[in-house]
Amino acid sequence: MADQFLAQEPPLPIELTPSQALGLWHTVSLAQVRVDSRDLTLRQLAILLHIYLVPPPHTVRGLAATLGVTKPVITRALDTMGALGLVDRVRDDIDRRNVIIKRTVEGALYLEKLGDLIILHGRKLTL
């Protein structure tokens, strides 16, 4: 599955070895844990990134299909992220059975700071 994902992605502007890529992820993860107490799981972070990087609308059903998990798994993750102010949920006006996931200012700021950490530590890589 990872190979299918990688085949669809354009090449990076710089080439990283797997060790360098993992080192960057490790460094950024440590920095994020130190500066932010929200402690999102990898699944929650994947959902949050999808909501902010892929054009809306986003539904529980759609997120479950994208991540290959059940709707209750998405709902639990959204409960946590909603309590943290990172996302909001509203009923779809057209089809009240659907729940639309909305972006929040707090969620946007969280990801902007995470992006800044990635850039900061990415610049420190020795290639």
> Is the predicted pLDDT of residue 6 greater than 60, yes or no?
no
pLDDT, average across residues 104-124: 94
Span 35-51, pLDDT tens digits: 888 989 999 999 999 99
pTM, entire model: 0.83
* Gap between the Cα atoms of 98 and 95, Å rounded: 6
pLDDT band, residue 31 (cuts 50/70/90): very high
Predicted confidence at residue 95, as pLDDT, reads 86
Average pLDDT of the chain is: 89
pLDDT digits (tens, 9 = 90+) for 70-104: 999 999 999 999 999 999 999 988 888 888 999 99
Domain boundaries in the chain? 18-122
φ/ψ (deg, to 5) at 102: -110, 150
pLDDT value of position 127: 64
Cite the beta strand spans of 3-124 per DSSP E.
58-59, 87-91, 99-103
CATH number belonging to domain 18-122: 1.10.10.10
